[in-house]
A and B are shown apart, each in its own frame.
Chain A
Amino acid sequence: AQSVTQLGSHVSVSEGALVLLRCNYSSSVPPYLFWYVQYPNQGLQLLLKYTTGATLVKGINGFEAEFKKSETSFHLTKPSAHMSDAAEYFCAVSKGGGSQGNLIFGKGTKLSVKP
């Protein structure tokens, strides 16, 4: 069975600082991995996803994530935080092979950005 662990329910950074949100996964099959962002009172929006191929994935708004199989990790980074990045971030894993599209979400990390 798949599962996702997001380390740190709340991360606070200063504007312009590096953003690092951690995600570790557990999967018995090759995982497909996703990062979603949820702005206050809104639905989720896909930031980026890893399916196969290049392990460094670039997403929207300057975010990127690297799939590291040996570490079972898919951490999300952004070189320089902006105030508009303040939101809740969710890591998710799905079964491979095109079956069912069932997303298993982590518990989320709330990112705060200080001026």
Chain B
Amino acid sequence: DTAVSQTPKYLVTQMGNDKSIKCEQNLGHDTMYWYKQDSKKFLKIMFSYNNKELIINETVPNRFSPKSPDKAHLNLHINSLELGDSAVYFCASSLRLSLDTQYFGPGTRLTVL
């Protein structure tokens, strides 16, 4: 069983479209995260959620809206996609909102044309 899963694995879309990426963890963790990895492999946190509550929002444009329907899921919705949104998006989870090990999903490669 995959601990942290993301769908889709690849996403190719046109500028201006709206898209969603889904993340699920079956580890029973309280905290989930979204990271963006750019073309130079630089990883930056976007959001973190603890018990379905938003904790961190790292100066991410309003076009990005995370939604956590329950503790096991954290979805990322992106409106009006731009070329600069092309990246690999990683979901992660940890047991608590602290220094626990973060477990990463396999990533979603988003390409905006």
Q: In whole angstroms, how far apart are the Cα atoms of A110 and B40 in the complex?
A: 11
The answer to whether B56 touches A46 (Cβ under 8 A) is no
In the complex, what's the smallest C-beta–C-beta distance from A54 to chain B, in angstroms? 16
Q: In whole angstroms, how far apart are the Cα atoms of A101 and B95 in the complex?
A: 11
Question: C-beta contact mask, B55-98 vs A, less than 8 Å → 1, else 0?
Answer: 11000000000000000000000000000000000101010111
- A102 contacts chain B at the CB level, 8 A cutoff: yes
The answer to whether A32 touches B99 (Cβ under 8 A) is yes
The answer to whether B105 touches A43 (Cβ under 8 A) is yes
Sample 17 A-B pairs with CB under 8 A, ordered by A number: A32-B99, A41-B106, A42-B107, A43-B90, A43-B106, A46-B103, A96-B99, A100-B48, A100-B56, A101-B31, A101-B48, A101-B100, A103-B45, A104-B45, A105-B44, A107-B40, A107-B41
The answer to whether A101 touches B43 (Cβ under 8 A) is no
Contacts A90-B43, A108-B41; A43 near B4 (Cβ below 8 A): yes
The answer to whether B90 touches A44 (Cβ under 8 A) is yes
Q: In whole angstroms, how far apart are the Cα atoms of A88 and B43 in the complex?
A: 12
Total A-B contacts with CB atoms under 8 angstroms apart: 64
Contacts A44-B90, A100-B55, A100-B56; A105 near B43 (Cβ below 8 A): yes
Q: In whole angstroms, how far apart are the Cα atoms of A28 and B2 in the complex?
A: 37
Chain A residue total in the interface (Cβ 8 A): 26
Of the candidates B42, B98, B106, the one having the most CB atoms from chain A within 10 angstroms of its own CB is B98
Residues of A within 8 A of B (CB): 32, 36, 38, 41-46, 49, 51, 88, 90, 94, 96, 98-105, 107-108, 110
The answer to whether B99 touches A102 (Cβ under 8 A) is no
In the complex, what's the smallest C-beta–C-beta distance from B102 to chain A, in angstroms? 7
Contacts A43-B107, A45-B104; A105 near B97 (Cβ below 8 A): no
Q: In whole angstroms, how far apart are the Cα atoms of A41 and B9 in the complex?
A: 10
Q: A43-B106, A101-B102 are in contact. List 19 more A-B contacts (CB 8 A).
A: A32-B99, A36-B104, A41-B107, A42-B106, A43-B90, A43-B92, A43-B107, A44-B43, A44-B102, A45-B104, A51-B99, A88-B41, A94-B99, A98-B97, A98-B98, A105-B43, A107-B40, A107-B41, A107-B42
